[in-house]
């Protein structure tokens, strides 16, 4: 759900048409006589009246009914509910009147992690004499019949190992490395259990960072400060009275670091594919971890003893958040008690489906515009992901009808993907990119992702070209494999909310049992008009990508981002690098080359009469635009980051708005001071400079 | 100089036209009226009369004079002689009447290894009292003034470390792992010096394989059995009386395992590029090694004591090749003496140039046909590489004249590369592919290499589509980076000799001071008509690659090779794999998918009227053919082989005519029996099956 990039998209301003077209070329019929029949087709540009027609046909009530259907039952990946959604998608996409040219399912055998319904995970406070003094809720409290569905999965941390941990409790803020480091200065963490709040670090990291200190188990909860603007009461404040999270609400999630099926890295997870031994999986916790609601977290945290934690660690509870003795205050009912985790998760290789659909292109069937969203949810998933799926189905209904009626066929092919098992680590989309790596690399013009279509009220259209938001998380939704692994220009579209109006880190029902049709239709988008706007926007983008004579991708915008990154890098690093005889000149030269090559290509586009010149000229220019992001791939640039190959957009831990690999390498070198780490900085500078120079070369036509 | 593959090339048979065209489409003018002027150009196919014209203009005497000019002085990489050849190439390619559209030089700072002219390497026999009993020749004997040129470099092993080694001599056959293993069963190799003959193992391997046994230094020579059909006397048998190697002739060479600049793996070696510390270089010897002539080898080997070596180890000397005591026979003048190596090689980062030239394409300037050869030699290099360069210059003269006279311009662009520092490890071409990775990957139709144009008399045209010959060596000339690293369809063309007429492993003057104009013009190709035939053949291939409407690349031939490989793999491996529950079914299915997809594409080509349909259709088909080899790349498939990414054509040590990675993984697993090695076999099978399935998908048009 993290915003991503479609270079050049949104240089313009109007909300719906989004200014995605850079240059728009009319079609002029060439000379007299009877030219070949295909001549007109190859020169055709996007048809604005078709877009108008599309926009007018997108219907909010259809989206609402799509959502109602998709959220009837919980549809966690590979469950019976998931299969129902597969059937529903297939039925819709195979409909002879409103469907696509073709639709089918593709299956992968993927490694998932589930709790045991017969033996639920338990979090308890136990006294020295083994009396259970408190038991955390196993299921969220029901406010509507939805939450009583037996298929509502118990809140759990997918990929947390099964196991039992018992120890004195400590409060570790967000579970970042710096948090445990600070805590460890006061408290011996060996044998403890840590409670952390969501935010600041990846889910898995909260446990992975803890283990080296001897922490035995980790709890995680959502602090009302971070999600509810401090509100806590379900009497009148939280859902079902508002969009805020009720006290028993728990964010589920996948606790892994790498995306894609964990047993088959870089290979599609087919039945006979080689699988690594499970003990070789990296990036998952080796100690048990379990999420709980803030009502239980309150009970635990407010009883913690010893020193008060720093101000930045304090949340919204009406008590001081202490570090913990370790353990509880001596004045507490829990005095001397341990916190105990009994985790019964198990892993299983299960069959997960993508549903695929296509509209074949007329002029360039070998150019693909891909549009996708995942289908699986944690529970009913009305917002995540069904808001996006409802939008996708409405969009394909309108486009499919046009195709089935013979009124329109796109210049380029459109591929629609309803991905499976995203919640477990973007698995369906990642396996798809692994299976079709060559074809997708060669032919894909762009990938458009609409996962959570509408995040909340107080709306803000989010469709930026700037990747900065994505920095810390890197792989927030299914665009990850497309942009990071395949180097395909990608975009994530959603309506988000005005952050001056709320501090919620995400919509409050995210990954809980409250993310239901009732919640969506009452608190997120009553009337579904924001959904409709997203469907119109996404469809508009899609049609322009598929039908424009010149692809609506702007390489000069890319140059601008590179210059911004360079400027930041110079400010942050040049002084120290010069002191170590590492020159940033090659990087400066590379960015300058890129800017001048981009200007050159822009000039060629501007000064050409592409509708009347040979179709191979516009194809050549489009290939340059399409493949530009591919030029930034280096499969060896990030040896420790699974499937990150794009040297400009890779994730970064350093949190600086500059080249990610450089920022991370610099941070490591600066903190260790070791010369081999400074060597890595120099190495990455070379990787980066040469990738940018190489990309610049692809924009030149005159010099071979 | 190892034969490589251009898939589909040579299905036909005629020698000169080489049957490279699969399908040939006439141009038919479309309908009445005044169609756009470009319509005819985009539909144009190769012009047979142009090819006839080209063939008739290729001149043997021009080639002879090119060679005379190129071989005036020794032109080892980065020497003054090398710079002379740079200037010569530039002058020719920039000639306004016969030159190309553009020509320029590109420089890289590369890591080379040289002997010290003031302190030559020495190989001596020293008695226990330190008396020097024998000194091996430091320079080859002169027969023509060429060999007296002060720029003739002393025979040496590039990248052998400097150092001194002294020990009892042993004979280690070809220095293969099995040779040292066998020898070690009889003799304690610690502290010895080994003498080996060329052949059977890579140059560097002869020393690398020796070191673990405690061998201190290695000598290498060319046995007359392997090069001279047993002849040894320069009185009447060897050069200057014939093409055979004189007794003092020494094959120089680069003693490294990986190709490309050793300090900048995967990066172009520019001035400010990060360089790894020299001690981190892998694949070069850690003990001194030095090549000597067979006259000195005779003196040493025939005095060795102890047991006779096996029959397969015997060479052409008129004595029994013994293992060595270690050391010499007690009856020998050398009794109790040591052999001593004093090696003064030094490494240096030096400026090496590629000379590049282009003819811009008219219709598809963004499609490249690349033709190349290295320019640097060890000494005068008349055959290696100047025979190829002479041919290239004649070919560019004829094509350049046509372009300069406005009579012709190819449909696609032609790029000519005169690579530097090939002899040190294919450095110039490898750096070029690293620098322009993205552009070359996206746009290159094929790479054609003509290094040693003519290997000898008793001629055989060598231009096979079968890669088997390349197996053990992998990277014999500059096509390596193109095929293995970039996945570009590549071809190596030469006239070789009839191996029923001689057992010479290569032409005898290879890498010696005798590879001169005199040698070439008297013993390899008097009259230069074979050179002429190569120029005609290569030009023919080049013009067809550049001008054909449909690229002359045949995907069904690829299917055939995959089926052959599969058949061999089934025979060799299936039984044992089944016993370990590793299924070969996915591989079988993948090869079947590929065959059917190839048949599908062939049918599309056959049944289309491509000259009259939209030019985007033929472009699409050509993209499928051009990118087919790219689909077999996997940057993670061969973690231990630098810059080998092509899962079908990678080098292999197993020496089986099947999938190289599978063969190597199987051999390792079979010999170790360890389950982790069988896992690697399974893993590689998955890599392979999925690459082949992925490639098959790229051949389909109907299914997206």
Q: What average pLDDT does range A109-129 have in this prediction?
A: 97
Q: Nearest residue on chain B to A269, judged by CA atoms? A: B686
Token digits of residue B478: 């500059």
Q: Is the CB of A30 less than 8 angstroms away from the CB of B42?
A: no
* Burial of B95 per CB tally in 10 Å (0-12, 13-18, 19+): middle
pLDDT at residue B677 tops 60: yes
Q: What is the pLDDT of residues B36-74, one digit of tens each?
A: 889 999 999 999 999 999 999 999 999 999 999 999 999
Q: What average pLDDT does range A123-128 have in this prediction?
A: 97
Sheet arrangement for strand B364-374: B102-114, B346-359, B412-419, B364-374, B444-449, B490-492
Query: A37, A268, A272, A589: best mutation site toward chain B, by most B Cβ within 10 Å?
Result: A272
User: What pLDDT, on a 0 to 100 scale, did the predictor assign at position A393?
Assistant: 98
Candidates A41, A436, A695; nearest CB to B694: A436
CA A47 to chain centre: 32
Q: What angle do CA B550, B556, B558 make, to 5 degrees?
A: 105
Residues 6+ apart with CB under 8 A from B656: B568, B572, B663
Give the CB-side neighbour count of residue B278, counting CA atoms within 13 A: 13
Q: Is the CB of A623 less than 8 angstroms away from the CB of B442?
A: yes
Q: What average pLDDT does range B442-471 have in this prediction?
A: 68
Q: Is the CB of A31 less than 8 angstroms away from the CB of B32?
A: no
pLDDT at residue B468 tops 70: no
Q: Is the CB of B33 less than 8 angstroms away from the CB of A36?
A: no
Residues 6+ apart with CB under 8 A from A292: A123, A136, A137, A155, A219, A220, A221, A250
User: What pLDDT, on a 0 to 100 scale, did the predictor assign at position A458?
Assistant: 62
Token digits of residue A586: 């090659």
* Residue A33: pLDDT band with limits 50, 70, 90: low
Q: What is the pLDDT of residues B179-206, one digit of tens each?
A: 999 999 999 999 999 999 999 999 999 9
Q: Lowest-confidence range among A270-274, A551-555, A567-571, B569-573?
A: A551-555
Q: What average pLDDT does range A614-621 have in this prediction?
A: 96
Residues 6+ apart with CB under 8 A from A144: A240, A516, A518
pLDDT at residue A429 tops 80: yes
* Burial of B607 per CB tally in 10 Å (0-12, 13-18, 19+): exposed
Residues from chain A contacting residue B586 (CB–CB below 8 Å) = 270, 272-273
User: What pLDDT, on a 0 to 100 scale, did the predictor assign at position B456?
Assistant: 78
A690 near B CB under 8 A: yes
Q: What element of type H or E holds B89?
A: helix B80-93
Q: Nearest residue on chain A to B683, judged by CA atoms? A: A274
* Residue B96: pLDDT band with limits 50, 70, 90: very high
Percentage of chain A exceeding pLDDT 90: 86
Residues 6+ apart with CB under 8 A from B159: B113, B204, B254, B255, B256, B262, B284, B285, B345, B347, B424
Q: Nearest residue on chain A to B28, judged by CA atoms? A: A36
Q: Is the CB of A614 less than 8 angstroms away from the CB of B614?
A: no
User: What pLDDT, on a 0 to 100 scale, did the predictor assign at position A31?
Assistant: 42
Token digits of residue A55: 């926009």
- Please tell me whether residue B287 adopts helix, strand or coil conformation: coil
User: What pLDDT, on a 0 to 100 scale, did the predictor assign at position A12?
Assistant: 27
- Please tell me whether residue B111 adopts helix, strand or coil conformation: strand
User: How far off is chain B from A690, nearest CA to CA, in Å?
Assistant: 7
User: What pLDDT, on a 0 to 100 scale, did the predictor assign at position A701?
Assistant: 72
What separation in angstroms does the CA of B481 have from each of A637, A697, B180, B430, B434?
Answer: 19, 19, 32, 5, 9
**pTM recorded for the entire structure:** 0.93
Q: Is the CB of B38 less than 8 angstroms away from the CB of A614?
A: yes
> Of residues A26 and A447, which shows the higher confidence score?
A447
Q: What element of type H or E holds B414?
A: strand B412-419
* Residue B214: pLDDT band with limits 50, 70, 90: very high
Q: Is the CB of A442 less than 8 angstroms away from the CB of B630?
A: yes
Please, which residues 200-239 of chain B have a Cβ atom closer than 8 Å to chain A?
none
Q: What average pLDDT does range A112-118 have in this prediction?
A: 97
Q: Are A491 and A23 in contact (CB under 8 A)?
A: no
A466 near B CB under 8 A: no
User: What pLDDT, on a 0 to 100 scale, did the predictor assign at position B501?
Assistant: 86
pLDDT at residue A11 tops 60: no
Distance separating alpha carbons of residues B65 and B71, to the nearest angstrom? 10
Please count the residue pairs, one from chain A and one from chain B, whose beta carbons lie less than 8 angstroms apart. Answer: 170
User: What pLDDT, on a 0 to 100 scale, did the predictor assign at position B31?
Assistant: 42
Percentage of chain A exceeding pLDDT 70: 92
User: What pLDDT, on a 0 to 100 scale, did the predictor assign at position B11?
Assistant: 27
User: Which of the residues of B are catalytic?
Assistant: 422
Residues from chain B contacting residue A35 (CB–CB below 8 Å) = 30-31, 33, 35-36, 39
Distance separating alpha carbons of residues A290 and A296, to the nearest angstrom? 12
Q: What average pLDDT does range A624-644 have in this prediction?
A: 95
β-strand partners of B413? B368
The most confident of A11-20, A304-313, B460-469, by mean pLDDT: A304-313
User: Which of the residues of A are catalytic?
Assistant: 422
pLDDT at residue A462 tops 90: no
Residues 6+ apart with CB under 8 A from B257: B202, B204, B205, B208, B282, B283, B284, B642
User: How far off is chain A from B149, nearest CA to CA, in Å?
Assistant: 39
Residues from chain A contacting residue B36 (CB–CB below 8 Å) = 30-31, 35, 39, 612
Residues 6+ apart with CB under 8 A from B467: B3, B4, B5, B561, B649
Q: Lowest-confidence range among A198-202, A522-526, B473-477?
A: B473-477
User: What pLDDT, on a 0 to 100 scale, did the predictor assign at position B4?
Assistant: 37
User: What pLDDT, on a 0 to 100 scale, did the predictor assign at position A28?
Assistant: 35
Residues 6+ apart with CB under 8 A from B119: B344
pLDDT at residue A9 tops 50: no
User: What pLDDT, on a 0 to 100 scale, did the predictor assign at position B9?
Assistant: 31
Please, which residues 248-307 of chain A have a Cβ atom closer than 8 Å to chain B?
264, 266-268, 270, 272-274
Phi–psi pair at A521, nearest 5 degrees: -80, -20
Q: Nearest residue on chain A to B29, judged by CA atoms? A: A36
Sheet arrangement for strand A346-359: A102-114, A346-359, A412-419, A364-374, A444-449, A490-492
Q: What is the pLDDT of residues A466-510, one digit of tens each?
A: 332 333 245 689 999 999 999 999 998 888 888 888 899 999 999
Token digits of residue A449: 């992702």
Q: Nearest residue on chain B to A370, judged by CA atoms? A: B704
Q: Is the CB of A630 less than 8 angstroms away from the CB of B442?
A: yes
User: What pLDDT, on a 0 to 100 scale, did the predictor assign at position A53?
Assistant: 97
Q: Lowest-confidence range among B25-34, B131-140, B694-703?
A: B25-34
Roughly what angle, to the nearest 10 degrees, separates helices A80-93 and A60-70?
A: 150
Give the CB-side neighbour count of residue A299, counting CA atoms within 13 A: 17
- Terminal-to-terminal C-alpha distance of chain A: 40
B82 near A CB under 8 A: no
Which residue bears the tokens 């008219």? Answer: B362
Residues from chain A contacting residue B364 (CB–CB below 8 Å) = 616, 620
Q: Is the CB of B619 less than 8 angstroms away from the CB of A616?
A: yes
pLDDT at residue A671 tops 80: yes
Please state, rounded to an integer, the average pLDDT across all residues of chain A.
92
Q: What average pLDDT does range A537-563 have in this prediction?
A: 94
User: What pLDDT, on a 0 to 100 scale, did the predictor assign at position B702?
Assistant: 61
User: What pLDDT, on a 0 to 100 scale, did the predictor assign at position B550?
Assistant: 96
pLDDT at residue A100 tops 60: yes
What separation in angstroms does the CA of A161 have from each of A216, B69, B314?
Answer: 12, 73, 63
Q: What element of type H or E holds A690?
A: helix A675-698
* Residue B458: pLDDT band with limits 50, 70, 90: low
> Of residues A284 and A28, which shows the higher confidence score?
A284
Q: Is the CB of A273 less than 8 angstroms away from the CB of B363?
A: no
User: What pLDDT, on a 0 to 100 scale, did the predictor assign at position B704?
Assistant: 62
pLDDT at residue A3 tops 50: no
Percentage of chain B exceeding pLDDT 90: 86
Q: What average pLDDT does range B401-426 have in this prediction?
A: 98
pLDDT at residue B245 tops 60: yes
Token digits of residue A111: 């490694």
Q: Are B411 and B44 in contact (CB under 8 A)?
A: yes
pLDDT at residue A362 tops 70: yes
């Amino acid at each position: 759900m993290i915003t991503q990039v479609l270079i050049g998209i949104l240089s313009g301003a109007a909300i719906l048409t989004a200014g995605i077209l850079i240059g728009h070329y009319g079609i002029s019929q060439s000379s007299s006589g009877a030219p070949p029949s295909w001549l007109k087709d190859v020169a055709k540009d996007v048809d604005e009246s078709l877009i108008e027609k599309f926009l007018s046909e997108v219907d909010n009530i259809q989206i609402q009914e799509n959502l109602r259907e998709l959220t009837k039952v919980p549809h966690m990946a590979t469950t019976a509910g998931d299969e129902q959604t597969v059937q529903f998608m297939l039925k819709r996409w195979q409909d002879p009147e409103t469907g696509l040219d073709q639709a089918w399912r593709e299956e992968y055998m993927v490694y998932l992690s589930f709790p045991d319904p017969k033996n639920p995970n338990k979090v308890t406070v136990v006294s020295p004499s083994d009396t259970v003094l408190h038991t955390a809720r196993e299921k969220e409290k029901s406010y509507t019949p939805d939450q009583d569905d037996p298929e509502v999965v118990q809140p759990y941390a997918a990929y947390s190992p099964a196991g039992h941990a018992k120890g004195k409790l400590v409060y570790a803020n967000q579970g970042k490395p710096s948090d445990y480091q600070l805590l460890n200065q006061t408290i011996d963490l060996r044998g403890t259990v840590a409670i952390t709040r969501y935010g600041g670090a990846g889910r898995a990291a909260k446990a992975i960072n803890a283990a080296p200190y001897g922490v035995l188990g980790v709890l995680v909860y959502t602090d009302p400060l971070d999600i509810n603007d401090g509100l806590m009461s379900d009497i009148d404040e939280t859902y079902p009275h508002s969009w805020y999270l009720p006290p028993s609400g728990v964010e589920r999630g996948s606790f892994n670091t790498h995306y894609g099926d964990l047993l088959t890295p870089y290979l599609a997870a087919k039945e006979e594919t080689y699988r690594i031994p499970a003990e070789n999986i990296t990036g998952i916790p080796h100690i048990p971890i379990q999420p709980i609601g803030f009502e239980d977290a309150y009970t635990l945290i407010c009883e913690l003893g010893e020193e008060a934690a720093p101000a930045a660690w304090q949340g919204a509870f009406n008590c001081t958040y202490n570090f913990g003795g370790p353990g509880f205050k001596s004045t507490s009912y829990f005095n001397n008690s341990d916190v105990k985790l009994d985790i019964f998760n198990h892993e299983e290789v299960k069959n997960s489906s993508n549903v695929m659909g296509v509209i074949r292109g007329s002029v360039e069937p070998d150019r693909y515009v891909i549009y996708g969203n995942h289908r699986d949810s944690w529970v009913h998933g009305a917002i995540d992901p069904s808001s996006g799926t409802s939008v996708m189905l409405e969009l394909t209904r309108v486009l499919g009808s046009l195709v089935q009626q013979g009124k329109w066929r796109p210049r380029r092919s459109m591929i629609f993907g309803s991905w499976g098992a995203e919640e477990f680590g973007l698995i369906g989309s990642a396996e798809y990119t692994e299976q079709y790596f060559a074809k997708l690399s060669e032919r894909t013009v762009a990938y458009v992702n609409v996962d959570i279509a509408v995040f909340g009220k107080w709306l803000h259209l989010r469709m930026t070209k700037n990747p900065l938001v994505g920095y810390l998380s890197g792989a927030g939704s299914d665009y990850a494999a497309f942009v990071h692994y395949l180097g395909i220009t990608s975009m994530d579209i959603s309506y988000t909310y005005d952050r001056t109006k709320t501090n919620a880190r995400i919509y409050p029902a995210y990954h809980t049992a409250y993310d239901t049709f009732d919640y969506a239709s009452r608190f997120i988008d009553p009337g579904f008009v924001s959904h409709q706007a997203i469907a119109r926007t996404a469809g508009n983008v899609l049609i322009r990508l598929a039908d424009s004579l010149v692809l609506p991708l702007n390489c000069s915008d890319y140059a601008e981002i590179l210059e911004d990154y360079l400027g930041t890098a110079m400010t942050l690093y040049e002084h120290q690098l010069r002191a170590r005889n590492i020159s940033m000149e090659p990087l400066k030269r590379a960015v300058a080359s890129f800017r001048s090559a981009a200007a050159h290509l822009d000039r060629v586009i501007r000064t050409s009469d592409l509708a009347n010149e040979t179709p191979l000229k516009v194809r050549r220019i489009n290939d340059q635009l399409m493949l530009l992001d591919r030029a930034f791939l280096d499969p060896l640039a990030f040896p420790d980051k699974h499937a990150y190959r794009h040297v400009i957009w890779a994730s970064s831990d350093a949190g600086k708005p500059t080249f990610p690999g450089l920022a991370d390498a610099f941070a490591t070198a600066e903190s260790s001071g070791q010369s081999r780490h400074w060597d890595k900085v120099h190495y990455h500078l070379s990787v980066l400079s040469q990738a940018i120079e190489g990309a610049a070369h692809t924009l030149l036509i005159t010099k071979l």
